[in-house]
Structure 1
Amino acid sequence: MTLKQLSQVKRWMVMHSARHPVELAVWNLILTVWMLGFMGVPGALLTHAWMALPLCLIAWLLPMAYAGGRRQLHRAGRLRCDWLTAL
Protein backbone atom coordinates (compact mmCIF):
# COMPACT_ATOMS: atom_id res chain seq x y z
CA MET A 1 0.00 0.00 0.00
CA THR A 2 1.18 3.48 -0.72
CA LEU A 3 1.16 6.27 1.82
CA LYS A 4 -1.67 7.89 -0.13
CA GLN A 5 -3.78 4.74 0.18
CA LEU A 6 -3.07 4.52 3.91
CA SER A 7 -4.14 8.14 4.23
CA GLN A 8 -7.32 7.58 2.23
CA VAL A 9 -8.36 4.64 4.40
CA LYS A 10 -7.59 6.62 7.55
CA ARG A 11 -9.66 9.56 6.24
CA TRP A 12 -12.57 7.20 5.48
CA MET A 13 -12.31 5.71 8.97
CA VAL A 14 -12.36 9.13 10.63
CA MET A 15 -15.30 10.32 8.52
CA HIS A 16 -17.31 7.20 9.43
CA SER A 17 -16.08 6.78 13.01
CA ALA A 18 -19.57 7.17 14.47
CA ARG A 19 -20.82 4.12 12.58
CA HIS A 20 -17.59 2.09 12.71
CA PRO A 21 -15.75 2.83 15.99
CA VAL A 22 -14.17 -0.63 16.23
CA GLU A 23 -12.85 -0.41 12.67
CA LEU A 24 -11.21 2.92 13.50
CA ALA A 25 -9.59 1.45 16.63
CA VAL A 26 -8.31 -1.58 14.71
CA TRP A 27 -6.94 0.59 11.89
CA ASN A 28 -5.20 2.86 14.42
CA LEU A 29 -3.63 -0.21 16.02
CA ILE A 30 -2.47 -1.50 12.63
CA LEU A 31 -0.95 1.87 11.74
CA THR A 32 0.80 2.02 15.13
CA VAL A 33 2.32 -1.43 14.65
CA TRP A 34 3.29 -0.49 11.09
CA MET A 35 5.10 2.61 12.33
CA LEU A 36 6.85 0.63 15.08
CA GLY A 37 8.03 -1.87 12.48
CA PHE A 38 9.20 0.87 10.17
CA MET A 39 11.08 2.73 12.89
CA GLY A 40 12.36 -0.45 14.53
CA VAL A 41 14.66 -1.36 11.64
CA PRO A 42 17.31 1.33 12.32
CA GLY A 43 17.25 0.54 16.03
CA ALA A 44 17.59 -3.18 15.39
CA LEU A 45 20.47 -2.60 12.99
CA LEU A 46 22.29 -0.22 15.34
CA THR A 47 21.98 -2.55 18.34
CA HIS A 48 22.64 -5.70 16.30
CA ALA A 49 19.30 -7.16 17.37
CA TRP A 50 19.01 -9.41 14.34
CA MET A 51 16.08 -11.32 15.85
CA ALA A 52 13.94 -8.16 15.68
CA LEU A 53 14.32 -7.70 11.93
CA PRO A 54 11.75 -10.38 10.93
CA LEU A 55 9.28 -8.84 13.38
CA CYS A 56 9.88 -5.43 11.84
CA LEU A 57 9.25 -6.87 8.38
CA ILE A 58 6.00 -8.49 9.52
CA ALA A 59 4.89 -5.23 11.15
CA TRP A 60 5.80 -3.31 8.00
CA LEU A 61 3.66 -5.62 5.85
CA LEU A 62 0.70 -5.66 8.27
CA PRO A 63 -1.48 -2.97 6.57
CA MET A 64 -1.19 -4.70 3.20
CA ALA A 65 -2.01 -8.08 4.72
CA TYR A 66 -4.96 -6.67 6.65
CA ALA A 67 -6.43 -4.93 3.60
CA GLY A 68 -5.88 -8.04 1.46
CA GLY A 69 -7.54 -10.26 4.03
CA ARG A 70 -10.49 -7.91 4.37
CA ARG A 71 -10.81 -7.74 0.57
CA GLN A 72 -10.95 -11.54 0.32
CA LEU A 73 -13.53 -11.81 3.10
CA HIS A 74 -15.62 -9.08 1.47
CA ARG A 75 -15.53 -10.78 -1.94
CA ALA A 76 -16.49 -14.10 -0.35
CA GLY A 77 -19.49 -12.43 1.30
CA ARG A 78 -18.35 -13.30 4.81
CA LEU A 79 -17.60 -9.73 5.94
CA ARG A 80 -18.82 -6.37 4.76
CA CYS A 81 -16.03 -3.89 4.21
CA ASP A 82 -17.20 -0.44 3.12
CA TRP A 83 -13.79 1.23 3.27
CA LEU A 84 -12.44 -0.79 0.36
CA THR A 85 -13.81 1.95 -1.90
CA ALA A 86 -11.17 4.27 -0.39
CA LEU A 87 -8.41 2.20 -1.98
Structure 2
Amino acid sequence: MTLIQLTQVKRWLFLHGRRHPLELCAWDMVLTAWVLGWVALPALLLIDAWPMLPLCPAGFLLPGFYASWRTRLHRSGRLRCDWLTAL
Protein backbone atom coordinates (compact mmCIF):
# COMPACT_ATOMS: atom_id res chain seq x y z
CA MET A 1 0.00 0.00 0.00
CA THR A 2 1.13 3.51 -0.67
CA LEU A 3 1.23 6.21 1.95
CA ILE A 4 -1.68 7.95 0.22
CA GLN A 5 -3.80 4.79 0.49
CA LEU A 6 -2.92 4.44 4.17
CA THR A 7 -3.96 8.04 4.70
CA GLN A 8 -7.22 7.59 2.81
CA VAL A 9 -8.24 4.57 4.89
CA LYS A 10 -7.26 6.32 8.12
CA ARG A 11 -9.26 9.40 7.11
CA TRP A 12 -12.31 7.29 6.23
CA LEU A 13 -12.09 5.51 9.58
CA PHE A 14 -11.63 8.82 11.39
CA LEU A 15 -14.80 10.17 9.78
CA HIS A 16 -16.84 6.97 10.34
CA GLY A 17 -15.17 5.70 13.52
CA ARG A 18 -18.25 6.01 15.71
CA ARG A 19 -20.10 3.47 13.60
CA HIS A 20 -17.04 1.20 13.22
CA PRO A 21 -15.07 1.36 16.51
CA LEU A 22 -13.61 -2.17 16.28
CA GLU A 23 -12.45 -1.60 12.74
CA LEU A 24 -10.84 1.69 13.77
CA CYS A 25 -9.00 -0.08 16.59
CA ALA A 26 -7.83 -2.87 14.28
CA TRP A 27 -6.53 -0.36 11.72
CA ASP A 28 -4.72 1.56 14.47
CA MET A 29 -2.98 -1.66 15.53
CA VAL A 30 -1.97 -2.36 11.91
CA LEU A 31 -0.56 1.16 11.56
CA THR A 32 1.25 0.82 14.88
CA ALA A 33 2.95 -2.36 13.64
CA TRP A 34 3.84 -0.55 10.40
CA VAL A 35 5.46 2.35 12.26
CA LEU A 36 7.24 -0.02 14.64
CA GLY A 37 8.64 -1.91 11.66
CA TRP A 38 10.18 1.28 10.28
CA VAL A 39 11.40 2.57 13.64
CA ALA A 40 12.79 -0.75 14.83
CA LEU A 41 14.94 -1.37 11.75
CA PRO A 42 17.73 1.12 12.56
CA ALA A 43 17.51 0.35 16.28
CA LEU A 44 17.92 -3.38 15.68
CA LEU A 45 20.84 -2.75 13.34
CA LEU A 46 22.53 -0.57 15.97
CA ILE A 47 22.21 -3.11 18.76
CA ASP A 48 23.06 -6.10 16.52
CA ALA A 49 19.79 -7.91 17.14
CA TRP A 50 19.92 -9.88 13.89
CA PRO A 51 17.31 -12.52 14.82
CA MET A 52 14.67 -9.79 15.21
CA LEU A 53 15.29 -8.18 11.81
CA PRO A 54 12.76 -10.36 9.89
CA LEU A 55 9.99 -8.77 11.96
CA CYS A 56 10.64 -5.37 10.36
CA PRO A 57 9.60 -6.37 6.81
CA ALA A 58 6.55 -8.07 8.33
CA GLY A 59 5.60 -4.73 9.86
CA PHE A 60 6.25 -2.92 6.56
CA LEU A 61 3.97 -5.26 4.64
CA LEU A 62 1.21 -5.70 7.23
CA PRO A 63 -1.13 -2.91 5.97
CA GLY A 64 -1.13 -4.34 2.44
CA PHE A 65 -1.75 -7.87 3.69
CA TYR A 66 -4.51 -6.67 6.00
CA ALA A 67 -6.24 -4.73 3.22
CA SER A 68 -6.03 -7.65 0.78
CA TRP A 69 -7.31 -10.05 3.45
CA ARG A 70 -10.26 -7.73 4.19
CA THR A 71 -10.94 -7.34 0.46
CA ARG A 72 -11.00 -11.11 -0.01
CA LEU A 73 -13.38 -11.56 2.94
CA HIS A 74 -15.62 -8.76 1.66
CA ARG A 75 -15.84 -10.23 -1.84
CA SER A 76 -16.63 -13.70 -0.50
CA GLY A 77 -19.49 -12.24 1.56
CA ARG A 78 -18.07 -13.26 4.93
CA LEU A 79 -17.32 -9.76 6.19
CA ARG A 80 -18.56 -6.33 5.25
CA CYS A 81 -15.79 -3.81 4.74
CA ASP A 82 -17.06 -0.29 4.10
CA TRP A 83 -13.66 1.43 3.95
CA LEU A 84 -12.74 -0.37 0.72
CA THR A 85 -14.31 2.56 -1.11
CA ALA A 86 -11.48 4.71 0.26
CA LEU A 87 -8.92 2.69 -1.71
**What TM-score, normalized by structure 2, do the two folds share?**
0.96
Root-mean-square deviation (Å): 0.7
Count of residues in Structure 1 that have an aligned counterpart in Structure 2: 87
Q: Partner residue of 2:3?
A: 3
CA shift at 1:52, angstroms?
1.2
**Counterpart of 1:46 in structure 2: which amino acid?**
L
Q: Partner residue of 1:17?
A: 17
Q: Secondary structure at the match of 1:51?
A: helix
Q: What CA deviation, in whole Å up to 9, does each residue of 1:21-40 have, x standing for no partner?
A: 11111111110111001111
Return structure 1 stretches of 4+ with deviation > 4 angstroms: none
Q: What CA deviation, in whole Å up to 9, does each residue of 1:38-75 have, x standing for no partner?
A: 11111111111111111111111110110000000011
Q: Partner residue of 2:51?
A: 51
**What TM-score, normalized by structure 1, do the two folds share?**
0.96
CA shift at 1:80, angstroms?
0.6
Identity of aligned residues (%): 59
Q: Partner residue of 2:34?
A: 34
Following the alignment from structure 1 to structure 2, what is the Cα–Cα distance between the partners of residues 33 and 83?
A: 20
